[in-house]
Structure 1
Amino acid sequence: MAAGIRKTTFDEFFDNRKALIYKYQKGDLTKKEFIEEHYFFIIRLNLRPFQRIDSFEKGIYNYQYHNAIAKYNTLRARDKKLLEKHPDLVREIENKVKYHYNKKDESIIRLLRYLDFENVEAYYIKSKSEYLNNRLIEIVLLDYEDVILHTINGGIVEELKREGVFEEVRKRSKIDNYVNKKY
């Protein structure tokens, strides 16, 4: 980087995300490690979600913030020792997971509205999970490299259909090796 040019928080966020994806794709990180690294990076950033979505970067940050917290806490809630010793804490963690997945979905819809649903494609993805099959949708933002969002929220599906960007098909996910890997 040239002298005098300061990296923004968004530069740092997107650079870290790209590096983690690269390490995962190379096999240097498991899915669990990817989730943990992403979570700890977001916590270190100490940047809360944005109230107003007036840029692509803010919308993606909000999505990633809530997704990272939800996934990390899903890992925590599955800890057998924690479940045995502190079932009340696990219930709190599960509530936190639900809260952040709801906020993630809110971030998706706010970002799509900001983008006016332009250059967006969405469809169901083929899932190895019985629970997610015919429920999990992939939303691809075609104007941005490697920006793929996921949700099971039926309200988002309905809005995508109203906007004419949802295909009633099941496709293989663009990141199938990540989506269909257990953690």
Structure 2
Amino acid sequence: MAVQIRKTTFDEFFDNRDALIYKYQKGDISKKEFIEEHYYFITRLNLKPFQKIDSFEKGIYNYQYYNAVAKYNTLRIRDKKLIEKHPDIVREIENKIKVNYSKKDESVIRLLRFLDYENIEAYYVKSKSDYLDNKLIEIVLLDYDNVILHTINRGIVEELKREGVFDDVRKRSKIDNYVNKKY
């Protein structure tokens, strides 16, 4: 008799994330589809962000949750009909985007502190975007596969520098074809 191992919510979350990354890298889905599918999966999980970050999994979940919500809402405000007919709703969504990116950055700091800044590499990313050039930071968690965080938060940069894990250079992103692809 085979023993069935029940998957945890984190197992489901990481399996889905890995599957989406694989589909994107193969070219089976676009960046827009990646963002939408990731957002829909996270909302179906019905798991709110954690108040306390006491594990790697909780920290990454919070980062992904806030990032997915912000990116999905960014897609929503590009709808020309919404912009024309409901500018007040667009402003509300823009505020949600700012709040979610802020919470994402808070999640980054809390996760890095939990990990005690060990085996972390951080640097500026070469960006095709004028807005992101010399602002976008890539944070690579070397102890984990496919865990790359991004931020433009100057406070995070300063903390990374204080902790001695920030290399003040511009490098090509480890996921350049995603980072530099418009959606």
Q: Distance in 1 between matches of 2:125 and 2:71?
A: 19
Q: Displacement, 1:78?
A: 1.1
> What is the Cα-based RMSD across aligned positions, in Å?
0.6
C-alpha distance in structure 2 between counterparts of 1:93 and 1:53, whole Å: 27
State the identity %.
83
Matched, 1:31 2:31: yes
Q: Map 1:53-92 onto structure 2 (within 5 A).
A: 53-92=53-92
> Alpha-carbon deviation of 1:157?
0.1
Matched, 1:21 2:17: no
Show structure 1 runs of 4+ deviating over 6 A: none
1:48-100 Cα distance to aligned partner (Å, 9 max, x none): 00000000000000000000000000000111111001000000000000000
| Superposition deviation, residue 3 in structure 1 | 3.1
Cα deviation for residue 103 of structure 1 reads 0.2
Q: CA deviation at 1:4?
A: 2.8
Worse-superposed segment, 3-12 or 168-177: 3-12
CA distance in 2, matches of 1:98, 1:69: 11
Local SS of the residue matching 1:170: strand
Alignment match, 1:47:
47
CA distance in 1, matches of 2:103, 2:58: 14
Corresponding residue for 1:112? Answer: 112
Letter in 1 for 2:12: E
CA distance in 1, matches of 2:86, 2:40: 23
Which residues of structure 1 form unaligned runs of 5+? none
Question: How far apart in 1 are the matches of 2:5 and 2:31?
Answer: 34
Q: Which amino acid is the alignment partner of residue 43 of structure 1?
A: T
Which ranges of structure 2 fall in alignment gaps of 5 or more residues?
Answer: none
Equivalent position SS for 1:34: helix
Cα distance in 2 for residues equivalent to 1:153 and 1:3: 47
- The 1-side partners of 2:96 and 2:39 are apart by 14
TM norm structure 1 = 0.99
TM-score, normalised with respect to structure 2: 0.99
Q: How many angstroms apart in 2 are the aligned matches of 1:16 and 1:118? A: 27
